Amino acid sequence: MKTYLVTGGAGFIGSHFIRHMLGVFGEDISIYNVDALTYAGNLANLEAVKNHPHYHFVKQNINSPELEDLFKSHTFDAVVHFAAESHVDRSIIDSLPFIDTNVRGTQRLLDFARKYNVKRFCHISTDEVYGSLGDTGSFTENTPLAPNSPYSASKAGADLLVRAAFETYQFPVNIVRCSNNYGPNQFPEKLIPLMITNAFEGKPLPVYGKGRNIRDWIYVTDFCSAIQTVLEKGIPGEIYNVGGDSEKTNIDVVKMILEKVGDTNSEIQYVKDRLGHDFRYAIDYRKIHQELGWSPQVSFEEGLERTVTWYKSNAKWWQDIKSGVYMAYYEKQYGTR
Ligand code: NAD
Ligand code: TYD
């Protein structure tokens, strides 16, 4: 049986990954989820597995020295590192938390993982480390790093530290760089869940600039299967790009959401552009496809349909977030967040 340490597993993608792996491996896997429960962490995302005999939650900051206790008391086959400050707009307002978690936290985790001989370190990164594209071309694993926001710069910093652990100590790492994820359980500060929930509430839909910026969307379960593939077949030291073949302008995405939500009083509102707004991301994922045999399964049309349906049937989940109620709930259970 394999034992995995997952960081940031109470967030959007991490919680999907934990449910995915427990679903695939059942009792043949054991997962320890280390999460600090920042504003983005939500244990409601893990309701379905909270009583699973092989799932364990540890409320801990990856930047804390006490993290070592966990490595002392368990042998991990792999660390899958999702924990991060993840929102570009927040990084523009206040960058230091991004350095603390994404850079320092990653190094601390690497140090412990190496000291305790973890067999594989899978670092979850983003296509945003490559910077921005013009109208043509796509990012390959050899595209030079040119991050433009404090968020993407902190992720690029982390990527370089992970690379250094391989080059210096031959510590068996992989870096997985993925395009924009969407799906159920995404915190409603990111484009798709913000627009869906605002549309349900009849609120304005704030589109930055002219809405012509382009993102390359991937349904979250496709990313989870890509990470599983890298854990099983990835070559140590290698980087793998992951994408969903779904380039869309923001305005097209918002119009599709309006169509799927149907009856709403919400209107698109063009607002001031994001500072340093990256124009276009597009991922070339031929390497993971050709070398490891992975490809995305869910079309954007199908994934968006599932996502809108989920937000419609899970209004309490996002209403508790938007009203701040979910914070009070966890303070009661775990003390201050
Ligand atoms: P998220 O913001 O939903 O979740 C982040 C989780 O990390 C939360 O549960 C939070 O409590 C936890 N966390 C934050 N700081 C921590 C700390 N210091 N110690 C322990 N836990 C901490 O993020 P997400 O969208 O699920 O993204 C997960 C990872 O995937 C991130 O590394 C992100 O950079 C990367 N990524 C995200 C996307 C995307 O579109 N969402 C795309 C590519 C890559
Ligand atoms: P976001 O979901 O924040 O992801 P990222 O910045 O990491 O790509 O934003 C996706 C795109 O949507 C990006 O071009 C910014 C734009 N956007 C808006 O137009 N309005 C919004 O309210 C938000 C949150 C994003």
E strands, 147-227, are: 173-178, 181-182, 205-208, 214-216, 218-219
Q: Letter for the amino acid at 225?
A: S
- Rounded Cα distance between 60 and 70, Å, is 10
Cα of 194 vs centre of ligand 2, distance in Å, is 9
Q: Do residues 149 and 182 touch, judged by C-beta distance below 8 A?
A: no
pLDDT value at residue 326: 77
E strands, 159-267, are: 173-178, 181-182, 205-208, 214-216, 218-219, 239-242, 247-249
pLDDT value at residue 261: 97
- Rounded Cα distance between 55 and 281, Å, is 35
Q: How confident is the model at residue 188 (pLDDT cuts 50, 70, 90)?
A: very high
What is the torsional sign of CA 43, 44, 49, 50? positive
The answer to whether the CB of 187 is under 6 A from ligand 1 is yes
The answer to whether the CB of 215 is under 6 A from ligand 2 is yes
Cα of 125 vs centre of ligand 1, distance in Å, is 10
The domain limits of the chain are: 2-334
- pLDDT cut 70: percent of the chain above it: 97
pLDDT value at residue 324: 85
Nearest to 152 by CA among 274, 35, 288, 62: 274
- Asked if pLDDT for residue 310 goes beyond 70, the answer is yes
Q: How confident is the model at residue 13 (pLDDT cuts 50, 70, 90)?
A: very high
Q: Do residues 219 and 295 touch, judged by C-beta distance below 8 A?
A: no
Q: How confident is the model at residue 17 (pLDDT cuts 50, 70, 90)?
A: very high
Strand, coil or helix: what is 219?
strand
pLDDT value at residue 330: 61
The answer to whether the CB of 206 is under 6 A from ligand 2 is yes
As a whole number, the mean pLDDT across the chain is: 96
* CA of 87, closest atom in ligand 1: 2
* CA of 274, closest atom in ligand 2: 15
Cα of 49 vs centre of ligand 1, distance in Å, is 19
- Rounded Cα distance between 328 and 7, Å, is 23
- Rounded Cα distance between 330 and 337, Å, is 7
Q: If you write DSSP's letter for every residue of 116-167 in order, what string do you get?
A: TT-SEEEEEEEGGGG--B-SS--B-TTSPP---SHHHHHHHHHHHHHHHHHH
**Among 96-110, 125-139, 200-214, 319-333, the least confident range:** 319-333
* CA of 149, closest atom in ligand 2: 6
205-221 residue pLDDT tens: 999 999 999 999 999 99
Which structure tokens are listed for 330? 């966890």
- CA-proximal residue: ligand 2, atom 6 (nearest): 88
Task: Pick the catalytic residue from 4, 32, 35, 128.
Answer: 128
The answer to whether the CB of 46 is under 6 A from ligand 1 is no
143-175 residue pLDDT tens: 999 999 999 999 999 999 999 999 999 999 999
Q: What is the mean pLDDT of residues 296-300?
A: 98
Q: Do residues 223 and 13 touch, judged by C-beta distance below 8 A?
A: yes
Q: Do residues 202 and 266 touch, judged by C-beta distance below 8 A?
A: yes
- Asked if pLDDT for residue 335 goes beyond 90, the answer is no
271-289 residue pLDDT tens: 999 999 999 999 999 999 9
64-82 residue pLDDT tens: 999 999 999 999 999 999 9
pLDDT value at residue 36: 97
- pLDDT cut 90: percent of the chain above it: 95
Q: Count Cβ atoms below 10 Å from residue 200 Cβ, excluding itself.
A: 18
219-253 residue pLDDT tens: 999 999 999 999 999 999 999 999 999 999 999 99
E strands, the chain, are: 2-7, 29-35, 55-59, 78-81, 120-126, 173-178, 181-182, 205-208, 214-216, 218-219, 239-242, 247-249, 268-271
Q: Looking at the structure, give the CATH architecture of the domain made up of residues 2-334.
A: 3-Layer(aba) Sandwich (3.40)
- Rounded Cα distance between 11 and 39, Å, is 9
pLDDT value at residue 185: 98
Q: What is the pTM of this model?
A: 0.97
- Rounded Cα distance between 225 and 294, Å, is 8
Q: How confident is the model at residue 325 (pLDDT cuts 50, 70, 90)?
A: confident
- Which ligand ends up closest to the CA of 279? 2
- For residue 283, what is the DSSP state? B
Q: Do residues 18 and 49 touch, judged by C-beta distance below 8 A?
A: yes
